[in-house]
């Protein structure tokens, strides 16, 4: 089925941090965040976000997201459609 709506860019961000609850609280205040979940795995938090363009996605991740205290590392996975 073809959807004529504007294409959106979806990404999943894996985060290692020192304070899960504080980082999630900060993340949930950012624009475009659909979901944030604590993990009991190699990574501490999984975030799903959606933006209008890949440029907006990069700006959010490299700006406000990376500036959140307690975050040690970030891995970003951008979803693509075939």
pLDDT per residue of the chain (82 residues) written in tens, 0 to 9: 344 446 789 999 999 999 999 999 999 999 999 999 999 999 999 999 999 999 999 999 999 999 999 999 999 999 877 5
Question: Please, what CATH class does the domain formed by 9-78 belong to?
Answer: alpha beta
pLDDT for residue 1: 36
Q: Is the dihedral of CA 9, 76, 31, 46 positive or negative?
A: positive
Closest to 12 measured CA to CA, from 65, 63, 82: 65
Q: Where are the domains of the chain?
A: 9-78
Q: Tell me the torsion sign for CA atoms 21, 23, 24, 26.
A: positive
| The pLDDT value given to residue 3 | 43
């Amino acid at each position: 089925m073809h959807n004529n709506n504007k294409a959106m860019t979806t990404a999943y961000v894996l985060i290692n941090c020192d304070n899960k609850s504080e980082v999630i609280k900060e993340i949930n205040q950012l624009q475009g965040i659909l979901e944030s979940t604590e993990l009991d795995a190699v990574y501490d938090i999984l975030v799903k976000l959606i933006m209008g363009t890949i440029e907006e996605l990069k700006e959010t991740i490299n700006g406000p997201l990376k500036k959140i205290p307690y975050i040690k590392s970030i891995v970003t996975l951008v979803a693509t459609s075939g």
